Amino acid sequence: MNLVTAIIQPDAVDDVQIALHQHGINGMTLTEVSGYARQRGHTEVYRGDSITIDFTDKVKIEILCAGDEAWAVVKVICDAARTGSVGDGKVWISPVEDVVRIRTGERGDAAI
């Protein structure tokens, strides 16, 4: 089992959600996050005072995947979220030891 974590542009959420649904992924966890990497932030101006907002709004998507599904999911996310400009985001895969469905107590792949 793997956890796929993607940091994407907020306006790419719809496209990613639709693409994942078409791929057969029917669940995800979404968090509104802020951060910066190469894209850096943006500048706002208040009465002539320029303020650089370092942290750009992003959305973090987390998806639990069974077995070797993760790379396919990463590809789907990348294809849907790519605009080609800086700031499109990142996706990574982390191994997951075990999962439990709270309602039934099922474990492992059965709980995904």
Partner 1 sequence: MNLIQINAGDTAWVMVSAALVLLMTPALALFYAGMVRSKGVLNMMMMSVLSMGIIAVLWVLYGYSMTFGDSWHGLLGNPFQFAGMRGMAEATVGPEGHQIPAFAFAGFQAAFAIIAVALISGAVADRMKFSAWVAFSVLWATLCYFPAAHWVFAFDGFAAEHGGWIANDVKAFDFAGGTAIHINAGAAALVLAVALGPRIGFRTSPMRPHNLTLVMVGAGLLWFGWFGFNGGSALAANGLAAMVWVNTLVAAGAAMLGWLATERLRDGHATSLGAASGIVAGLVGITPACSVVTPLGALAIGAITGVCCAWAIGLKYRFGIDDSLDVVGVHLVGGLVGTLAAGLFAKGSLAGGAAGLFYGGGLEQLGRQAVGAVAVLLYSLVVSYLLARLVDATVGLRIDRRAEAAGIDLAEHAESGYDLSRVQYSSYSKSLVVPRPEKSPKEEVEA
- Residues making contact with partner 1 (CB under 8 A): 9, 11, 14, 34, 40-46, 50-55, 83, 85
User: Nearest distance from residue 11's CB to partner 1, in Å?
Assistant: 4
Q: In angstroms, give the least distance from the CB of 76 to partner 1.
A: 19
If the CB atoms of residues 41 and 108 are measured against partner 1, the closer one turns out to be 41
Q: Which of 49/98 has CB closer to partner 1?
A: 49
Confirm if 59 and 32 have CB atoms less than 8 A apart. yes
CB of 26 to partner 1, least distance (A): 19
CB 1 within 8 A of CB 100: no
What is the C-alpha to C-alpha distance for residues 10 and 26, in angstroms, rounded to an integer?
A: 19
Largest CA distance in the chain: 59
The CB-of-94 to partner 1 minimum distance in angstroms stands at 25
Cα 28 to Cα 37: distance, rounded to the nearest angstrom = 24
Q: For residues 51 and 43, what is the distance between their CA atoms, to the nearest angstrom?
A: 6
Smaller CB separation from partner 1, 87 or 108: 87
| 86 or 102: CB nearest partner 1 | 86
Q: Which amino acid is at 12?
A: A
